[in-house]
Chain A
Amino acid sequence: MRITVRINGDEHQADCWEGESLLFALREKLGFPGSKNACEQGECGSCSVLLDGALVCACLVLAAQADGHDVTTVEGLAEGETLHAVQQAFVDAGAVQCGFCTPGLVVATADLLQRNASPSDDEIREALSGNLCRCTGYAKIFDAVRLAAGKA
């Protein structure tokens, strides 16, 4: 089936197998490999994208459900060569090791800060509870979120 999705502001079309996820379609059909596939069961958050402005796991959205809808991926955050404030903060704080969790965490953090410009530590913890990192132990990720929120 053919789906039409507005990704990062531009309309894209792809031919999908009916049972495939939005994550698979983004990575394999639509040319947006930024969202990562780690668990395919909603546990890790590495595939986080915004669907009509809401943070979701792209692995749990049927590609056909995104037909006619808006998706923002990590590729949509930077302005040309200029990183998004959250991306820059992750670099500056050293919050990236292997980097596999980073796209999902960056999207989830951008979503948090857009709704709540100065979150408390507990609010950060709750907002990022669906994103797993196997490398950093989260301390530097916290530093990055506080840095991006202008509180560091």
Chain B
Amino acid sequence: MDVLTPRSLDEALQLKAEHPDAWPIQGGTDVMVALNFDRGRPATMLNLNEVQELRGWWRGDGSLRLGSGLTYAEIEHGELRTVLPALAEASRTVGSPQIRNRGTIGGNLATSSPAGDALPPLLIEDAVVECASVRGTREVPLGDFVTGVKRNALAADELITAVVVAPSGAAQTFMKIGPRNAMVIAVVSLAVSAGDELRASFGSASPKPVLVTAPRAEAAGFPAQVAGAATPIDDVRGTRAYRVHALEVLTRRALERVLA
């Protein structure tokens, strides 16, 4: 095995083009579990920790660029708490402080798990995923980026460089059900906002992220609409029926918060 540690984005993209099979690694909170349990043995690892262009976040014209290396801890404790409140609430539910200090949104997006906690709060804000390669950069709406369970639109020579989002300023919240307050893969999760319209997206209840919208005047029917849009499965963490029921209850509670 080889570990390549580029010091700039250009170098990282060059290396990914030369080694399309290389596993990128940022926080390692998904990759290292796979390595430690021998669930994969890549010939090459691409360590992105030293690529400054991927760290932190910054303001563009009217939108924010969240670097793919932005950690949950940075979202939870910084100014983003007021700018992207549902994402910040979701970040605070991820794993533990140790996981939040390392885990990144880029890693969450690339893993493309139906349970990924960053996905619903980013989808209700119309986030766009910036994918880059030596061939150029393209912006893929988050709803198109995830193509199925743990599958996405990233090409073999591409890296996720950022998530671009224009904060709506809408009242919004995130909720997550699990057996504990920490260290929980969502049995079901939900992000809801109330701006010009009502918006919702959920986790662990469909193969890929789904955006549900309704006019504000139709708030009464929204919980049933959200639950009806879910296509969950029975698995070790919960049943299909429980998840559908929980989504309806959570949406009602979320609306009480965001319409208050």
Contacts and interface: CB of A to CB of B under 8 A. Distances in A.
28 contacts: A18-B1, A18-B3, A19-B41, A19-B45, A21-B32, A21-B35, A42-B96, A57-B99, A60-B28, A61-B28, A61-B32, A62-B3, A62-B35, A62-B45, A64-B45, A64-B47, A65-B5, A108-B97, A108-B98, A126-B97, A129-B97, A129-B181, A129-B182, A130-B97, A130-B98, A130-B182, A130-B183, A131-B96
Contacts of B98: 42, 45, 48, 55-57, 60, 108, 130
A21 B102 CA distance: 14
A45 B96 contact: yes
A133 to B, nearest CB: 14
Contacts of A18: 1-3, 45
Contact of B101 (A1, A43, A54): A54
A41 interface: yes
Given A42-B95, A54-B101, A129 B32 contact: no
Interface in A24-75: 40-43, 45, 48, 54-57, 59-62, 64-65, 67
A129 B32 CA distance: 20
Bin chain A's interface residue count. 20 to 34
Interface in B1-29: 1-3, 5, 25, 27-29
Interface string B107-146: 0000000000000000000000000000000000000000
Interface of A: 1, 17-19, 21, 40-43, 45, 48, 54-57, 59-62, 64-65, 67, 108, 126-127, 129-131
Nearest to A66: B49
B73 to A, nearest CB: 7
A145 to B, nearest CB: 14
A19 B97 contact: no
A1 B41 CA distance: 17
Interface of B: 1-3, 5, 25, 27-29, 31-33, 35-37, 41, 45, 47, 49, 73, 95-99, 101-102, 180-183
> Shortest 7 CB-CB distances between A and B: which pairs?
A130-B96, A129-B182, A18-B1, A64-B3, A40-B36, A60-B32, A54-B101
Given A42-B98, A55-B98, A130-B99, A65 B47 contact: yes
Contacts of A48: 98
A41 B97 contact: no
Given A57-B98, A64-B3, 12 more contacts: A19-B35, A40-B37, A42-B95, A54-B73, A56-B102, A60-B32, A62-B35, A62-B47, A64-B47, A65-B47, A126-B182, A129-B182
A139 B118 CA distance: 33
A48 B157 CA distance: 34
